[in-house]
Homo-oligomer: A and B are copies of this chain.
């Protein structure tokens, strides 16, 4: 279970950088200023930064007057893991979210991927149902986009990529949810970028038919009610 764990001191340092805005862009930092804010010597601060860089948790541009630091995706993921743990402590298990969006037409890619056995089997194993060959695509309303972002801090189920039919199928992740009581899951490619206002949903049955949905219809997606 425990494969790798960030050191407590490194985490503390990473968090300090994130608090300065390191997740949103480059922030100026010097060993001295960082050291002061963490109550450690500039030397130690310098060493911490080197350590974080070696772990690719931050990236740096070193200048004569200090350094410009950005928290990498890996670093941000680490912080989100931590954040999620605090949410578990204080918000218990009622991590309930509701996304609202409107049905839109997809590109038909979902239908294809859902038919690939390498994916189907994993969904069956990990979600408890084999997906209907087709996905329901929703365009989220602005408020739900914010909620959607917060979902990145809770636990998704990993779907492993594989090779088949002379091509590569990438990693994905999914999050169980419900629409009008139907067990579904939000599916997302892990690596390639995906529009933040769109979610793609799979279920055991065709949701359009089952719920009589048409493009433009409003749909509520409930997460964490299981």
Q: Would you call A19 an interface residue if the criterion is a C-beta within 8 Å of the partner chain's C-beta atoms?
A: yes
Are the C-beta atoms of B83 and A2 separated by less than 8 Å? Answer: no
| Contact segment of A6-14, A172-180, A181-189, A209-217 | A6-14
Are the C-beta atoms of A83 and B80 separated by less than 8 Å? Answer: no
Task: Give Cα A11 to B88, complex, Å.
Answer: 16
> B8, B83, B89: which contacts A12 (Cβ < 8 A)?
B8
Task: Give Cα A12 to B18, complex, Å.
Answer: 18
Are the C-beta atoms of A90 and B39 separated by less than 8 Å? Answer: no
- How many interface residues does A have (CB within 8 Å)? 26
Are the C-beta atoms of A89 and B83 separated by less than 8 Å? Answer: yes
Residues in chain B near residue A80, CB distance under 8 A: 90
Q: Would you call A5 an interface residue if the criterion is a C-beta within 8 Å of the partner chain's C-beta atoms?
A: yes
Task: Give Cα A44 to B29, complex, Å.
Answer: 33
Shortest C-beta distance, A216 to chain B (Å), equals 29
Residues A86 and B83 in contact in the complex (CB < 8 Å), given A2-B39, A8-B9: yes
Q: Would you call A126 an interface residue if the criterion is a C-beta within 8 Å of the partner chain's C-beta atoms?
A: no
Shortest C-beta distance, A94 to chain B (Å), equals 8
Shortest C-beta distance, A41 to chain B (Å), equals 14
Q: Would you call A85 an interface residue if the criterion is a C-beta within 8 Å of the partner chain's C-beta atoms?
A: yes
> B15, B38, B153: which contacts A85 (Cβ < 8 A)?
B15
A93-128: which have CB < 8 Å to B? Answer: none
Q: Would you call A79 an interface residue if the criterion is a C-beta within 8 Å of the partner chain's C-beta atoms?
A: yes
A interface list, Cβ under 8 A from B = 2, 5, 8-9, 11-12, 15, 18-19, 23, 37-39, 79-80, 82-83, 85-91, 150, 153
